[in-house]
A and B are shown apart, each in its own frame.
Chain A
Amino acid sequence: MKRALTCIVCPVGCSLEVELDGGKVMSVTGNTCPRGAKYAEAECTAPERTVTSTVRCTDGRILSVKTDRPIPKEKVAECMKIINNAIAPLPVCVGDVIIKDIFGSNVIATKNINAL
C-alpha cells in the first residue's frame, strides 16, 4: 500500500510517498533530507505532535506554553484538557516546567511573566 504525506518537520514541506506493507514502512521517497524519512516512519507507525497552547497564571494573565517534545498525536486533545486546567505560579521564565511528565513530555513556559 502507498501513502502520500506532507513532511511537517521544516517549512520546505516535501511531498513524501511511503510504501507500506501491513503497517510496516518499506520505503520513503520524496524527502530531501533524512529527517523526512524519519518523520514518515513515525507518522505511519506512531504519529506525534508538539502541542502549543496557553495557561492562566495565578493573577489571570496568560502564559504561552509548549510540550518540550512531541507527544502521541491521539493524546493531543487529552493534553489540551490538562493544560486548560493548569494554573501557573508567578514569576515565570522561559523554560520553566508548568506541568510535569504528561505523555512523555513536560509542559514548559515559552515566555516570561514577572510577578506584579
Chain B
Amino acid sequence: MTDLVIIGGGPAGMSAAVAAYESGIRDILILERDDSLGGILKQCIHNGFGLHKFGEELTGPEYAWKYEQRVHELGIEYKLNTMVLSVSPDKVITATNTEDGIFTVEAKAIILAMGCRERSKGALNIAGSRPAGIFSAGTAQKFVNMEGYMPGKEVVILGSGDIGLIMARRMTLEGAKVKAVCELMPYSGGLARNIEQCLNDFDIPLRLSHTVVQIHGKERLEGVTIAKVDERRQPIAETREFIPCDTLLLSVGLIPENELSLGAGIDLDPVTNGPVVDQDRQTCIEGIYSCGNVLHVHDLVDYVSEEAEIAGKSAAEYISGMSGEKTNITLKTDGKIRYTVPSKITSKKDVKVYFRVADVYRNVKINVLSGGEVIFSKKKPKVAPGEMETVMLKKDMLENVSELSFELEVM
C-alpha cells in the first residue's frame, strides 16, 4: 500500500507532490509517461512563467526545473516512461513500463494530474485533401523546440489561443513567414500581451472572424482558402481568399485528458470536460483528487501550481484522517460565467473559486448570490474567455448557505 500516488509528473503533479510532502506525507509515488519530469513545460521555451509564483519571469523549462529540484531534494519517488493503464474506484492503479512490466499499486489517495491534449476537431470540418504540412500548434512546438526541425517556411495558423500566438513568433524568429493567424471568433482566445509581442512585433496579421474553409495540395500543402464568417460563424462565400502556404498550424483549443478518470467512474463536468470536484479538488470518489489541466484548462501555470498545492495538501489531510466542519453547497452559474471550479463546497473553509466567462464583457460586476441576496461583489473593467477569473469566498460567508449563484452583471 502506497500513501499517495500521483498520475502525471508535469507542473500539477510535481506541485501536488511537494505540497503533500510539506503536509507530512512521505510515501509518495509519481508516475510519468514521458522520459523526464516537467510535462508540457519542457517544450514551452518562451518566457512569462512564474511571475505570480516566484516573482520572476521564467521560461517553461526553468519553471519545471524549480519543481524538479524540490522533488529531488525531498527524495520524492517517481517512475518515468510509465504508462498508467487504469485506475479502479477502490484506488488500485495498473501501470506498465519496460522495467517492471505490468504492475499494480494500491494507494490510500490518488491525485490525477494527467494534463490535457490539443483539440484536433478544427481539422475535420475543412474541405479538401489532407496533404503533409498540417500540424497541431503543440506538435509543431515540439518539433521546433525539442527536436530542432522546422515544419515549414510559409505558415497560416488557425486559432489564436496562446499556443498559436507563441508559435507564430517562434516560427518567425526561426525564419518562416507567418502569413496570417485566423480566428473564428471576433476576439482572440489568447492573452493580450501575446497578441502584442507575438503578432504585432512582427506585423503578423490577426484575421478575426475568419476561418480556413479549404485545404489545397496533394502531397504537400500548397495553400489554404480562408473566409470571413458571419454572426452565426458561417463562412461568407464572397470573402474567400487564397493564401499560398506549405504549413497550417491548428491551435483550436485544449481538452482535459480524462480517459483514466472515466474508467474509474469519476463524474465529469460537461463544460470543463474535467472531473466534478469540491474545494479540496476531491472528485466524487473519496480519496481521489484532480488538479491542473486535467481538471480544467488553465491560462497560467502559476494557477496550476496553486491548485495542485490545494489537492496535495487535501490528499495529505485525507491520508492522515483529518477532516473539517462539513457543509453541502452547490455553486451555480448564469451562462455568462461558463463554469466554476470547484462546483461544490463540502467543508467550511476559505475557498478561492476559479471561473471562466463565455464572451468578452466590459465594465462588469461579478456577483455571488445566496438565496437571491448578493453576498459578494467585485468590479472588473474587462473579462474575456481566455483569462481565468477568481473570487475569494471567506469561511464566514458560507454559514447557512446551500446554494451560491455566480452571476455576471454588465453595467
Contact A11 B201 (CB under 8 A): no
Q: Which residues from 1 to 58 on chain A have a C-beta closer than 8 Å to any C-beta of chain B?
A: 5-11, 13, 15, 49-54, 56
If A49-B197, A62-B146, A94-B61 touch, whether A13 touches B192 (CB-CB below 8 Å) is yes
- A76 interface residue (CB < 8 Å to B): yes
Would A52 and B45 be within 8 Å (CB), given that A64-B61, A110-B59, A110-B61 are in contact? yes
Using known A-B contacts A50-B47, A54-B45, determine if residue A13 contacts B193 with beta carbons closer than 8 Å: yes
Contacts of A49 in B (CB 8 A): 197, 201
Q: Which residues of A contact B74 (CB under 8 A)?
A: none
Taking a contact as CB atoms under 8 Å apart, the answer to whether B59 and A64 are in contact is: yes
Q: Which residue, B144, B195, B196, has most C-beta atoms of chain A within 10 A?
A: B196
Decide if B299 touches A11 in the complex (CB within 8 Å). yes
State which size class the interface on B falls in. 20 to 34
CB of B145 closer than 8 Å to a CB of A: yes
In the complex, which residues of chain B have a beta carbon less than 8 angstroms from the beta carbon of A76?
173
Interchain CB contact under 8 A, B65 and A112? yes
Q: Does A80 contact B (CB under 8 A)?
A: yes
- B41 and chain A: residue at smallest CB distance: A111
Within 8 A of A (CB), among B51-71: 51, 57, 59, 61-62, 65
Tell me, yes or no, whether B42 is within 8 Å of chain A by CB: yes
Query: Chain B: which residue is nearest A64 at the CB level?
Result: B45
**Contact B59 A52, beta carbon cutoff 8 Å:** yes
Q: Who on chain B is nearest to A95 by CB? A: B62
Q: How far is the CB of B208 from chain A (nearest CB, A)?
A: 16
Judge whether A53 and B45 touch: CB under 8 Å. Answer: yes
Q: Given A8-B197, A49-B201, A94-B65: A110 and B192 within 8 A (CB)?
A: no
Contact assessment for B145 and A94 in the assembled complex, using a CB-CB cutoff below 8 Å = no
Roughly how many angstroms separate A73 CA and B300 CA in the complex, as a whole number? Answer: 25
Q: Contact check, A6 vs B173: say whether CB atoms are below 8 A apart.
A: no
Docked complex: A89-116 residues within 8 A CB-CB of B? 94, 110-112
The interface residues of chain B lying within 8 Å CB-to-CB of A94 are 61-62, 65
Nearest residue, chain A, Cβ from B69: A94
Given the interface pairs A54-B145, A111-B42, the reply to whether A8 lies near B65 with Cβ below 8 Å is no
Residues of chain A with a CB closer than 8 A to B193's CB: 6-11, 13
Query: Is there a chain A Cβ closer than 8 Å to B148's Cβ?
Result: yes
Within 8 Å of chain A (Cβ to Cβ): is B48?
yes
CB-CB contacts of B271-305 with A at 8 A, as 1s and 0s? 00000000000000000000000000001100000
CA distance A76 to B198 in the complex (A): 13
Interface centre among B45, B145, B146 (most CB of A within 10 A): B45
Give the shortest distance, in Å, between A78 (CB) and chain B (any CB).
12
A11 touches B59 (CB 8 A): no
Q: In the complex, which residues of chain A have a beta carbon less than 8 angstroms from the beta carbon of B42?
A: 111
Residues on A with C-beta less than 8 A from B300 are 11
Alpha-carbon gap, A111 to B64, bound state (A): 9
- Residues of A within 8 Å of B65, CB to CB, are 94, 111-112
Give the residues in chain B near A80, CB-CB below 8 Å: 173-174
Which residues on the A side are within 8 Å of B255 (C-beta)?
none
Within 8 A of A (CB), among B188-222: 191-193, 195-197, 200-201
Across the interface, do B192 and A56 meet the contact criterion of CB distance under 8 Å? no
For the complex, what is the distance from the CA of A96 to the CA of B115, rounded to whole Å? 30
Q: Which residues on A sit within 8 Å (CB–CB) of B148?
A: 54, 56, 60, 62
Minimum CB–CB distance for A81 against chain B, Å? 10
Q: Quick check: is B147 within 8 A (CB to CB) of the other chain?
A: yes
Residues of A near any B CB (own CB < 8 A):
5-11, 13, 15, 49-54, 56, 60, 62, 64, 66, 73, 76, 80, 84, 94, 110-112
Write the residues of chain B forming the contact surface with A, with a CB cutoff of 8 angstroms: 42, 45-48, 51, 57, 59, 61-62, 65, 144-148, 173-174, 191-193, 195-197, 200-201, 299-300, 387
Instruction: Supply 19 A–B pairs (Cβ within 8 Å), ascending by A.
Output: A6-B192, A6-B195, A8-B197, A11-B191, A11-B300, A11-B387, A15-B192, A49-B197, A50-B47, A51-B173, A52-B45, A52-B46, A52-B47, A54-B148, A56-B148, A62-B148, A64-B145, A66-B45, A112-B65
